[in-house]
């Protein structure tokens, strides 16, 4: 049901997602716009690559928080509309999914940063945390395993997205809305990582140095 509350929450969720944490932190503390370096994306991965973990860690945390906070606005919608507060109900789930997607769109096309954002992986993860904790933990495990084996962040993100879809469809059976969202989310990850996939196929994708040796 479309109400003033749901429309307002969608706008607020988009604005949450539009907060360009990578851009603002880079400019405020390093006088650097991360979009002008590395991959050109305003996300946690590129922030780690360009500015290091001192900037990358807070950007990643805040981007996850954006998705989690926006998705949990569903609680206030159902509270105001008198719908079921059961987080497993179809009404609650649909509101949560819509709000989470709005936040991801905000991260991809941030109104506060000229609509030049990141790939939305951390914000997607925050959304997943709010909707399905078990599937989110599965994503983390798969991401870490693939990253340790290959050192490709992009491939790890794609594998984690696929794991989520498999998880909600077969391992942790969920309602149809969550399963359909999982499929759409995986498709979105493939689209936003198209250039990474091309570089992976050509053997030109950059690897991360997980265990850097300290030089004397």
pLDDT digits (tens, 9 = 90+) for 136-166: 999 999 999 999 999 999 999 999 999 999 9
Handedness of CA 82, 172, 187, 163 (dihedral sign): positive
From the CB of residue 15, how many other CB atoms can be counted at a distance below 10 Å? Answer: 17
Q: State what percent of residues in the chain have pLDDT above 90.
A: 73
Residue 111 pLDDT > 90: yes
Q: State what percent of residues in the chain have pLDDT above 70.
A: 94
* Residues sharing a CB contact under 8 Å with residue 192, sequence separation 6 or more, in sequence order: 108, 119, 120
What number of CA atoms fall less than 13 Å from residue 47's CA on the CB side? Answer: 29
* Token pair in block for residue 2: 């479309």
Burial 23-42 (b: 16+ CB within 10 A, else e): bbbbeeeeebbbbeebbebb
pTM of the model as a whole: 0.87
The mean per-residue pLDDT over the stretch 162-179 comes to: 89
């Amino acid at each position: 049901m479309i109400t003033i509350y749901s429309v307002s929450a969608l706008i607020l969720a988009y604005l949450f997602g539009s907060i360009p944490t990578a851009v603002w932190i880079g400019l405020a503390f390093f006088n650097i716009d991360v979009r002008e370096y590395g991959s050109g994306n305003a996300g946690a991965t590129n922030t780690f690559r360009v500015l290091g973990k001192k900037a990358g860690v807070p950007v990643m945390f805040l981007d996850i928080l954006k998705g989690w906070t926006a998705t949990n606005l569903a609680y206030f919608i159902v509270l105001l509309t008198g719908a079921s507060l059961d987080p497993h109900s179809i009404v609650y789930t649909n509101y949560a999914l819509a709000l989470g997607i709005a936040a991801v769109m905000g991260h991809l096309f941030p109104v506060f940063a000229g609509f030049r954002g990141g790939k939305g992986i951390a914000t997607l993860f925050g959304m997943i945390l709010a909707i399905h904790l078990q599937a989110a933990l599965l994503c983390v495990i798969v991401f870490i395993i693939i990253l340790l084996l290959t050192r490709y962040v992009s491939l790890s993100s794609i594998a984690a997205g696929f794991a989520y879809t498999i998880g909600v469809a077969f391992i942790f059976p969920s309602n149809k809305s969550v399963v359909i969202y999982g499929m759409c989310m995986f498709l979105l990850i493939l689209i936003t990582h198209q250039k990474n996939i091309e570089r992976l196929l050509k053997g030109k994708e950059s690897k991360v140095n997980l265990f850097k040796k300290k030089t004397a």
